[in-house]
Amino acid sequence: MNILVVGAGGREHTFCWKLAQSPLCDQLFAAPGNAGTTTVATNLPVSVTDFQGIKAAVLKHDIKMVVVGPEDPLVMGIHDFFKADSALQQVAVIGPEKEAAQLEGSKEYAKAFMMRHQIPTAKYQAFTAETVVQGEAFLETMEAPYVLKADGLAAGKGVLILQDLQEAKRELRKMLLEQKFGAASSKVVIEEFLDGIELSCFVLSDGKGSITLPMAKDYKRIGEGDTGLNTGGMGAVSPVPFVDAEFQKKIDETIVQPTVAGLKKDGLRFKGFIFIGLIKVGDIPKVIEYNVRMGDPETEVVLPRIKTDFVEILNAIATERLDRIQLEVDHRSATTVVAVSGGYPESYQKGFAISGLETTEEAILFHAGTIHKDGMVTTSGGRVLAVTAMGDNHQEALERSYQKLNKIHFEGINYRKDIGFDL
Ligand code: AMP
Ligand code: GLY
């Protein structure tokens, strides 16, 4: 079977790396891919939201499965686009249809879903420009810190956590009345602050049943000790040591099962990955957010732990046969550390040559923001590489990730030295 991976980050390189290991995968393509995906796939110069371009590539290369990495094409309806086109109806799309993608595309939609299906989450209310005064009054009834969330997609930047009530009111006005996050903040969810430690839970769903993948934890802040600005993710570990059997059971019973049952009750046949952002408040897991895709850099630690053939898994999602999959998991720890461009997540320069990319025993190199230029691999984004390693525990795995990172150079390279510090 010929397969196309849509996307260009570390997550998509990891998908390609895993798919290429399967005897069921014939030709593999990435659109647009990066320098890393070219080692196992053919890159196609098509953007992730160019549905006509993707269609042309699918027909030209006889592609039978499309694995969608990022949220934008899903929220824009790539799955529906394939379903509605008679030339594409036979192609399996891994990723939900537009309606279910609203779980990530609209915070209010996700909150209403959780309320409807009694899934534990922070208390909230949603406001628009017309109800900004009620929004301010609602803030007065809350305690600091105040959590304001742009309803729509805002590239991970749409959440504000503020200590001061007056500032929260000002920011609410900026979001609703001055389009602080563009159309994404024409509606704002104000919610209760949840205090605890975060983790990421990934669920495979075929529309009928589900399989929960190994848990992961990512490190979102740029600075050591989880300080400074939010990023796309600076590192990740899997498994998560504080998730014992009892806590896992709580996650399954109070969150995963009601989520999968809720989708079915609502008539949403979700075929893809459900990413549940969780927070452990005391001993209680609560949902911070849903995403309708895999996480990045979590994919870089979750997929290397999956021993089961990945094409078989995705085929089972497409054909509603997940119940036949026996997921085999590597019980070792996986860690990844992300090397970023100097200055990221604020402005940074691109185009620097990267050295030290040779394959080694100790680690797997997943590319994120890299391209080929003048016969060299150069930086082309904020997050440049994710260096994944395995070990008997996360300390051992991390040592290997850092050993490999020490050999990698590009101008301005930066990475956190403390991934896993809190475990
Ligand atoms: P989100 O885009 O919803 O994942 O939010 C981004 C980040 O803001 C999360 O990863 C959390 O660290 C934080 N956050 C979001 N909602 C809350 C909340 N209700 N309480 C505490 N922290 C939150
Ligand atoms: N690592 C968080 C995300 O992919 O959204």
Q: What's 166's domain CATH number?
A: 3.30.1490.20
* DSSP conformational letter for 215: P
In a domain, 27, yes or no: yes
Q: Are residues 67 and 7 in the same domain?
A: yes
Nearest residue CA, atom 4 of ligand 2? 295
Single residue among 191, 213, 244 that ends a domain in this structure: 191
Single residue among 160, 191, 222 that ends a domain in this structure: 191
Instruction: Determine how many CB atoms are found less than 10 A away from the CB of residue 19.
Output: 24
Q: Are residues 141 and 57 in the same domain?
A: no
Single residue among 97, 115, 137 that ends a domain in this structure: 97
At 305, is the secondary structure helix, strand, or coil?
A: helix
Cβ of residue 218 lying under 6 Å from some atom of ligand 2: yes
Cβ of residue 291 lying under 6 Å from some atom of ligand 2: yes
Centre of ligand 2 to C-alpha 137, Å, is 32
Residue 154 is predicted with a pLDDT of 87
In a domain, 185, yes or no: yes
Say how many residues make up the chain. Answer: 423
Euclidean distance between CA atoms 374 and 311, whole angstroms:
34
Residue 136 is predicted with a pLDDT of 94
Nearest residue CA, atom 11 of ligand 1? 288
Centre of ligand 1 to C-alpha 289, Å, is 8
Contact residues of ligand 1, CB 6 A cut-off: 122, 147, 149, 159, 191, 193-194, 198, 277, 288-289
Q: Are residues 7 and 84 in the same domain?
A: yes
Q: Are residues 11 and 83 in the same domain?
A: yes
Q: Are residues 8 and 92 in the same domain?
A: yes
Q: Which two tokens mark 285?
A: 């897991």
Nearest residue CA, atom 3 of ligand 2? 295
In a domain, 245, yes or no: no
Mean pLDDT by 10 residues, the chain (423 residues): 98 98 98 98 98 98 98 98 96 98 96 98 93 94 94 87 94 91 89 96 97 97 93 96 96 98 96 98 97 98 98 98 97 98 96 93 95 95 98 97 96 97 88
Residue 326 is predicted with a pLDDT of 96
Q: Are residues 10 and 77 in the same domain?
A: yes
Q: Are residues 12 and 86 in the same domain?
A: yes
Centre of ligand 2 to C-alpha 276, Å, is 10
In a domain, 181, yes or no: yes
Q: Are residues 91 and 149 in the same domain?
A: no
Centre of ligand 1 to C-alpha 198, Å, is 9
Centre of ligand 1 to C-alpha 193, Å, is 8
State in Å, rounded, how far the first CA of the chain is from the last one: 41
Q: Are residues 7 and 59 in the same domain?
A: yes
Cα distances (angstroms) measured from residue 330 to each of 307, 327, 392:
6, 10, 10
Euclidean distance between CA atoms 285 and 262, whole angstroms:
18
Centre of ligand 1 to C-alpha 177, Å, is 23
Q: Are residues 45 and 86 in the same domain?
A: yes
Nearest ligand to the CA of 69 is 2
Centre of ligand 1 to C-alpha 277, Å, is 9
Cβ of residue 335 lying under 6 Å from some atom of ligand 2: no
Nearest ligand to the CA of 149 is 1
Longest dimension (CA), the chain: 60
In a domain, 264, yes or no: no
In a domain, 151, yes or no: yes
Instruction: Determine how many CB atoms are found less than 10 A away from the CB of residue 186.
Output: 16
Centre of ligand 2 to C-alpha 238, Å, is 14
Instruction: Determine how many CB atoms are found less than 10 A away from the CB of residue 152.
Output: 20
Residue 183 is predicted with a pLDDT of 86
Give the model confidence (pLDDT) of 144-198 as tens digits: 999 999 999 988 788 999 999 999 999 999 999 998 888 898 899 999 999 999 9
In a domain, 110, yes or no: no
In a domain, 173, yes or no: yes
Q: Are residues 10 and 91 in the same domain?
A: yes
Query: Which residue range is the domain that position 68 belongs to?
Result: 3-97
Residue 60 parent element (H or E): helix 51-60
Say how many domains are in the chain. 2
Q: Are residues 79 and 143 in the same domain?
A: no
Identify whether the C-beta of residue 302 lies closer than 8 Å to the C-beta of residue 202.
yes
Residue 359 is predicted with a pLDDT of 83
Residue 109 is predicted with a pLDDT of 97
Closest ligand 2 atom number to CA of residue 297: 1
Q: What CATH code is carried by the domain that includes residue 30?
A: 3.40.50.20
Nearest ligand to the CA of 152 is 1
What residue ranges in 80-226 does DSSP mark as E strands? 92-94, 124-128, 146-150, 159-162, 187-191, 197-206, 210-212, 217-218, 221-223
What residue ranges in 226-315 does DSSP mark as E strands? 227-230, 235-238, 271-281, 284-291
Nearest ligand to the CA of 202 is 2
